[in-house]
Amino acid sequence: MATETSAPPLVRAGGLSAGADRRISRHRLRERLGTQAFLIPITVVLALFFLVPLAESVYWSFTDYSGFSQSSHLVGLRNYREIFTDSEVLTGLGFTLLYAVATTVIVTVIAIPLATVLNRRFPGRNAVRAAFFFPAVPSMALLGLVWTFVLSPLSSGVINSVLGDVFGVGPVPWLSDNTLAKVSVVTVGVWAQAGWHAVLYLAYLQSVPRDYYEAATIDGATPRQQFFRITLPLLAPAMTVSQFLLLINGLRVYDLPFTLTKGGPGYATTTFTQVLIQRGVSGGDYGLGAALGVVFLVAVAIVLFLQLSVTRRLERRFR
Amino acid sequence: MSIDPTTAQLSRRRFVQGSLMAALLGGTALATSSCSTSTAAGGGGGAKTLSFLSWDTQTVMQPVLDLFKQQTGFDVSASYAPPVAQYVSTLQTRLQSGTAPDVFILTAEDKQIVPGGFVKDLSGQSSLSVMNSANKDFMTVDGKVYGLSISSWAGGIMYNKALLAKVGASSLPDSWDGFLELCAALKAKGITPYYDAAKEGNFMSLWGLLGGYFADHGGFPDQDIFAGKTTFADTWTEPFVAYCKLYTQGLTPQSILGLTGDQVVSEFANSRVAMFGAGTWNVPTVQKSAPDLSFDTGAIPGFNKGTTYWTGAASPGFAVNAKAKNPEAALKFLEFMASLDGAKVYGTSSGAITTTSNYTPTVPAALTNQAAGARSGKIYLPVVAWPRHSNDLNTELTTQLQQMIQGSVKPQDIPAALDKKLKQLDGK
């Protein structure tokens, strides 16, 4: 049965009618608003808990606010000048960068081969995977406290006992010598994170089709060639994610060095975050603390931007 | 299947409106919750309610507050923050936001709030009459008393009697040189002589040595140093260099830089070190870890023969908010804490050595010496004597000492480094 309609034609010569045009754009506008409405709650949260505090930090970084007095004064760039001339801050920044870069490089170098081993079939594979993942479960602060006993510089320390009993080597000053303390902090940081990142690489490895390896084997590729020509390029996206996380964790590190060495001996293992907390909060110099926070944010943004640029370029190259 | 465009439009509209409403409600809820937190933190209202911020735990303070309520009829709205950094930060935030309690704890690290006008001057209050002079000095700023401190702690050198007996010693010597000789004798016997918890900046015997030296050489120089009348270099160098001989003469190993306070106590309890710098809080731990160990604690041997001194400090005081909502209850609380009942219940509950003149606490035998030291007022701790920048200066001192132990800084250069740091901090 045919039905006639008196509605105006939707299409006129040369395109849609003006009314239909308006209805469609209203419809699209509503759709767009509907989609964007999903962003409102997170935008509110972001504004309340990030943008407003950030703006306030920038303001306070130009003041001498101490938290002890009811007034504060604008002091221009004084706090920023102090940051770049204070040896404690600069030492903290230096060790933080060393820790971030060293853990990122070493964990990556360890985690990828470890992931390829964990991807093979062998008895007790799941237990071994769990064992490597386990150090990522407890907090870094707890690990730091435990490793304090393991790395105790006394002959009664766990490692020193073994060295003394088995090899007859005298106690090694793991945490009481500047260089060894830095090495110890980085080593524990690597130990704590390598397993977790190996599991991350493992997840990516499991999505690599076996066909690639079978074809490469038929073509006569050695396991080494397969690793460098197939595995590594296909892990490039995983490396981007892993190194991004490692760098962020490294740059903001506080709990592990603080519990393991308290930032010492001297300033040897003091981190930027520790300086921020000690000088800004505990020392009541909130103006300086805010300036440290702003500088830290900018430094982290620059480092992460560089890291993402490099790894994405590598990803494109291997694609 | 067709979709009714009207319904679809309504659904979308409702969704958009709903989302906006949810966001608004969410924002309002957040704002409201932060307000309500502030209000609660400000303490309960009502003329019969006292608000109080404690850094002792609730377990310690509850019996005290219960007895206060029983005796005065005032309710207490108490909140708690652990010492030191978290407490100071909490108090600062509440003072700045106008939600500070009627009574709070005034300590070395937050004494700088006094010039800010946040603390009521208590000079002339009857409750202060029972305070020990060392406690009163600690609570005094520019000649006015701003807090009621009713207890102190004392730290000295805890020694293992059996290990000391191996070199013919039965107690600590009465001079620093004698102490160094004792350490050398122990070392010659293959016994590790002495530890301070250097990793944590706890150089217990240094503070007592400095205190004894100052007491014998014209008084404590802290106020004059900060007033620019003298310097750390002029007043500290002699006793400071004497202390550092522990390290420059190899009597204490560099490995202490990697030891926490707990590890030091553990080494002592296992008889692997003969002596260590100990506070009153270490006694129960040693007793529990090594029930059969025979030990005692003595005062720090003095720079001059025959003089000894204790490391220690008056405990933080109870202070009244200058803008207290219930000043009457606040002053009543201070009167109660200064009373025999208040000091007794607080001493029993906290284990602190109370120092008020109206009550003598009963302490375990192992604490007798330290309790006597605390109550004598012959105690010194620079960080609480410094009127400003105590946190930054203490960090600088710890770092310099750690570098000295490593051999990269000379002992005689450290007091001068403190002068430089103070000048830098004051120049800001």
**pLDDT tier, B47 (very low <50, low <70, confident <90, very high otherwise):** low
Nearest CA among B387, B383, B379 for reference residue B397 = B383
Which of B20, B22, B272 faces A156 most closely, judged by CB atoms?
B272
Chain A residues with CB under 8 Å of B413 CB are none
Which of A44, A171, A278 faces B27 most closely, judged by CB atoms?
A44
First to last CA, chain A: 58
Q: Beta-carbon neighbour count of residue B6 at 10 Å?
A: 8
List B301's β-bridge partners, or say none. B308
- State residue A14's pLDDT score: 52
Of B209-218, B225-234, B358-367, least confident by mean pLDDT is B358-367
Residue B12 CB partners (closer than 8 Å, separation 6+) = A30, A31, A34
Alpha-carbon distance values, A40 to A35, A47, A55, B17, B202 (Å): 10, 10, 20, 12, 51
**pLDDT tier, B210 (very low <50, low <70, confident <90, very high otherwise):** very high
Exposed / middle / buried, residue A189 (Cβ in 10 Å: 0-12, 13-18, 19+): buried
* B-interface mutation test, from A33, A176, A182, A184, most B Cβ less than 10 A away: A176
Yes or no, beta carbons of A68 and B112 under 8 Å apart: yes
Alpha-carbon distance values, B389 to A60, A86, A202, A258, B338 (Å): 20, 16, 51, 22, 30
List B78's β-bridge partners, or say none. B52
Q: Looking at chain B, which residue has its C-alpha nearest residue A38?
A: B19
- State residue B299's pLDDT score: 95
- Residue B198 CA from chain centroid, whole number: 17
**pLDDT tier, B15 (very low <50, low <70, confident <90, very high otherwise):** very low
Whose tokens are 């911020």? That residue is: B53
How far apart are the C-alpha atoms of B121 and B321, rounded to whole Å? 9
Q: What is the block-wise mean pLDDT of chain A (319 residues), using blocks of 10 residues?
A: 45 63 82 85 89 92 82 88 87 94 96 92 90 90 93 90 89 92 96 95 90 92 90 89 92 93 91 89 84 92 87 75
Model confidence at B8: pLDDT above 60: no
Give the tens place of pLDDT for each residue, B143-184.
899 999 999 999 999 999 999 999 999 999 999 999 999 999
Decide if B217 contacts B230 (C-beta within 8 A).
no
Chain B residues with CB under 8 Å of A68 CB are 92, 110, 112-113, 115-116
- State residue A12's pLDDT score: 53
Nearest CA among A272, A311, A107 for reference residue A200 = A107
